[in-house]
Amino acid sequence: MTPTSGPDDRLAPALRTEALEQLLTERGLIDPAAMDAIIATYETQVGPLNGAKVVARAWTDPQYKSRLLQDGTAAIAELGFTGPQGEHIVVVENTPTTHNVVVCTLCSCYPWPVLGLPPSWYKDPAYRSRVVREPRAVLSEMGLDLADGVRITVRDSTSEVRWLVLPERPAGTEHLTEEELVPLVTRDAMVGVAKVTAP
């Protein structure tokens, strides 16, 4: 699904970004401190870590899980995660027999407060069209092979509704605390293109 690239391909965008930032700074168009603050916000305050905290809380607190599945936006706000692109989030649960995967077929609508910025593959036209038509094949190409008996539901995010997947809690993690569970939860699992694995 994702094209392979060499080290030079990954380095080129980073170098171009650095050069652009330097040019804009030299011309007085941006403040480096402000840029650092924005980057830090998306790395530490807005992003997959927030979603992982939501998931870990749901795994360890049945009452919170019930509220999360009933009104995702309100339950997520309980943990302080709100903001643009998170005005209406619906949470769906993956189980041993049902698997949800999220896509935005029109553009790249995505729940920023809990997942941060969307990955490049999420915005790729191939993912956006194929996952609707052949979700099992696309998931397999991304490394997730589901049993034939598992029903796959594709959730289409829009500007009105954004989806978040509550992944299955992996077996063998019953003894872990909420804080210990957080690092196990990945962005891809909350989009539904991966599962959470035990440490």
Q: Is residue 74 in some structural domain?
A: yes
The rounded distance, in Å, linking the Cα atoms of 187 and 48 is 5
State which residues form the domain around 176.
43-191
Domain annotation covers residue 145: yes
Higher pLDDT, 110 or 15: 110
The answer to whether residues 101 and 133 touch, using CB atoms and an 8 Å cutoff, is no
CATH number at residue 111: 3.90.330.10
Give the chain's length: 199
In a domain, 31, yes or no: no
Percentage of residues in the chain having pLDDT higher than 70:
88
pLDDT level of residue 4 (50, 70, 90 thresholds): very low
Question: Largest Cα–Cα distance of the chain, in whole Å?
Answer: 59
Mean pLDDT (the chain) is 90
Burial of 40 (0-12, 13-18, 19+ CB in 10 A): exposed
- Band (pLDDT 50/70/90 cuts) for residue 5 is very low
51 — pLDDT class (breaks 50, 70, 90)? very high
In a domain, 5, yes or no: no
> Is 108 one of the annotated active-site residues of the chain?
yes
Domain presence at residue 15: no
Q: Is residue 36 part of a domain?
A: no
66 is catalytic: no
Q: Which residues are annotated as a binding site for Fe(3+)?
A: 104, 107-109
Q: What is the DSSP letter of 96?
A: S
- Name the active-site residue from 5, 66, 107, 140: 107
Residue 104 lies in a domain: yes
d(CA 5, CA 10): 7
112-126 pLDDT, tens digit each = 999 988 888 999 999
29: in domain? no
Task: Quote the CA–CA distance of 48 and 94 in Å, as a whole number.
Answer: 18
* Domains: count for the chain: 1
Q: Is the pLDDT of residue 76 over 90?
A: yes
The rounded distance, in Å, linking the Cα atoms of 163 and 183 is 21
140 in catalytic set = no
CA distance 107 to 118: 11
pLDDT at 103 over 60: yes
Q: What is the pLDDT at residue 160?
A: 92
| Residue 40 confidence (pLDDT) | 65
Structure confidence at residue 11 (pLDDT): 54
